[in-house]
Amino acid sequence: MTSEGSTEREQRVLLFVATRRDAEVSARLLAQADIRSHACTSADELIAELRSGAAALLATDELLEPTVTRKLIAELDRQEEWSDLPIVLLMRGGLSSAPAAESLRHITNVVTLERPTGMGPVLSAVRAAVRARARQYETRAHIEAIKAAEAKARAADQAKNDFLAALSHELRTPLTPVLLVASEAAANPAWPDEAREAFEVIVKNIGLEARLIDDLLDLTRITHGKVKLERTPVDVVGILRDAIATVRPESDPKGLRLVEDLPARPVTVLGDAVRLQQVFWNVLRNAVKFTPPGGAVAVAAGPRDGRFVVTVTDSGIGMERAELEQAFEAFVQGEHARRNGPHRFGGLGLGLAISRSLVEMHAGEITAASAGRARGSTFTISLPIVGSPLDEDRGPPVAAARRPRSLRVLLVEDHEASREALRRLLEARGHAVTTAASVAEAREGSRQGPFDLVLTDIGLPDGSGYEILREVGIPGDWLGVALTGYGRDDDLMRSREAGFFAHITKPLSAAALDNVLNSVAARFEAG
């Protein structure tokens, strides 16, 4: 490449003239002006040389032969957007000839000179064409630099996403055995109340840890537009009540007054119930987190001008103007959160950023207000109301959890502590379990079948859970359940496409395990 960002071939002027003598004379005169050239003797050679690179084309009337013109126009049509090859055309009679005018109508960047003419005007036109082409090459260089930077950014972004997915897997996996054992013990009436309360603390904090991991992945999904809402008419009042219930275990130990002023009847919005509860939970938990012990959090909601408006007001530490402007930015908690240390209140500063994106995806709005430091904060969420209120009768009551029939389970998990915890819980529920720690062991263990359920990790030392579904050759009456630390939308889709009945993201609680087992049993009972 030259200093102008073009190759030597791209700095040539191609010649397409009547005779060899004309070509020699033209080449010599151009050389005296330090302009390299190359003479083409046929249309095919001209097209081939154009593809190799050219600064301009100097031609005579012979270029307007129909066969030559068709090939040239076809080649020019294939130019990239930055390219517009300059052509200097020496013509007898100028554009007075109708055929000539028609041929040139399809060639945009052409300068015509009437023959005969002196070399002064020709050299001037060629130099102008070469300068114009040099600017085109500079534009190409800028475009290529931008594309290279974009490719680098995409690669870095993909590397970040892959890292977060791997980090999620590595963080979730060791949480699984702890959550399984703790959640089972917390629900066991045989344990003393004090011990069960201790296990509940463990379960709660593992749930918070898993929530932080989910927030990281949610932020990545939202940033890349990969969050898909399952929109249906939902009772937003009921969703808000459920969210309030989820934060009471955090507000009660602090002695906070959690005051509710909600409509008595349902209000319908078109939304994703899970994501809306996530929004309310994030805002409520934020209020509880930043309100000192003995304070109050008030939740008021109701229809207003065709929208459902929720206000969450706390008596907490409040925010200054600069903090309000950044309240919904990712990884930001405000200066007050750093006053006595970098993690005074914990968390990653993602909840409100995620909430804003989710609210906007529901065609809603979320805002923050505060009168200043130590004067509390108010968050307002507004969502469009649709249709008429849902019937207060929410359908038949949910059936109580039942113990599924005994299942024959092939359990494949390379993390020993998780494998043993799962095995014990499955056997305690009366299921027959064969364990394996790899694809090879799963193949061997499959000979002890048939099985009703294959519960397998996805990432294994010698392969993947997808291979187990393929290579072990699960018959149609076996169900596969993926158990993995990978929980991105792409991961769930791949599991479905591979034929898994369900995809469970670690960490797994005893209750979640029971839900899966019930679903598997129900599938068999339904035939």
Helix (H, G, I), strand (E, B) or coil at 520: helix
DSSP class per residue in 102-152 = HHHTT--SEEEEEES--HHHHHHHHHHHHHHHHHHHHHHHHHHHHHHHHHH
Q: What would the pLDDT profile of 32-73 be if each residue is shown by its tens digit?
A: 999 999 999 999 999 999 999 999 999 998 888 888 988 999
Rounded to whole angstroms, the Cα distance separating 472 from 326 reads 53
Return the minimum-mean-pLDDT range out of 54-58, 175-179, 521-525: 521-525
> Would you give the DSSP letter of residue 398?
P
As a whole number, the mean pLDDT across the chain is 83
Q: Which residue has the higher pLDDT, 22 or 399?
A: 22
Rounded to whole angstroms, the Cα distance separating 325 from 356 reads 13
Question: What share of the chain in percent tops pLDDT 90?
Answer: 39
Q: What average pLDDT does the segment 142-153 reach?
A: 92
pLDDT tier at 132, thresholds 50, 70, 90: very high
Rounded to whole angstroms, the Cα distance separating 285 from 248 reads 9
Rounded to whole angstroms, the Cα distance separating 57 from 109 reads 11
pLDDT given for residue 105 in this prediction:
73
Return the minimum-mean-pLDDT range out of 64-78, 172-186, 218-232, 290-304: 218-232
pLDDT given for residue 146 in this prediction:
93
The whole-angstrom distance between residue 170's C-alpha and the CA centroid of its chain comes to: 20
Strand 13-16 relative to strand 87-92: parallel, antiparallel, unpaired? unpaired
Return the minimum-mean-pLDDT range out of 170-184, 228-242, 331-345: 331-345
Rounded to whole angstroms, the Cα distance separating 221 from 229 reads 12
Question: What share of the chain in percent tops pLDDT 70?
Answer: 84
Beta strands per DSSP E along 249-376: 257-261, 268-271, 296-304, 307-314, 365-369
Residue ranges of domains in the chain, CATH in brackets: 9-117 (3.40.50.2300), 163-226+403-527 (3.40.50.2300), 235-384 (3.30.565.10)
pLDDT given for residue 368 in this prediction:
94
Q: What average pLDDT does the segment 13-35 reach?
A: 91
Widest Cα–Cα separation across the chain: 110
- Answer positive or negative: Cα dihedral of 75, 77, 78, 83: positive
Closest CA to 455 of 489, 413, 487, 496: 413
Q: Which residue has the higher pLDDT, 277 or 5?
A: 277
pLDDT tier at 526, thresholds 50, 70, 90: low
Helix (H, G, I), strand (E, B) or coil at 478: coil
pLDDT tier at 491, thresholds 50, 70, 90: confident
Do the beta carbons of residue 484 and residue 443 sit within 8 Å? Answer: no
pLDDT at position 275 over 80: yes
Helix (H, G, I), strand (E, B) or coil at 247: helix
pLDDT given for residue 27 in this prediction:
93
Residue partners of 88: CB distance under 8 A and separation at least 6: 56, 57, 58, 59, 110, 111, 113, 122, 125, 126, 129
CB atoms within 10 A of CB 241: 16
Burial letters 267-293, b for 16+ CB under 10 A, else e = bbbbbbbebbbbbbbbbbbbbbbbbee
pLDDT tier at 334, thresholds 50, 70, 90: low
pTM (two decimals): 0.50
Q: What average pLDDT does the segment 469-473 reach?
A: 73
pLDDT tier at 129, thresholds 50, 70, 90: very high
CB atoms within 10 A of CB 211: 18
pLDDT given for residue 394 in this prediction:
39
pLDDT tier at 342, thresholds 50, 70, 90: very low
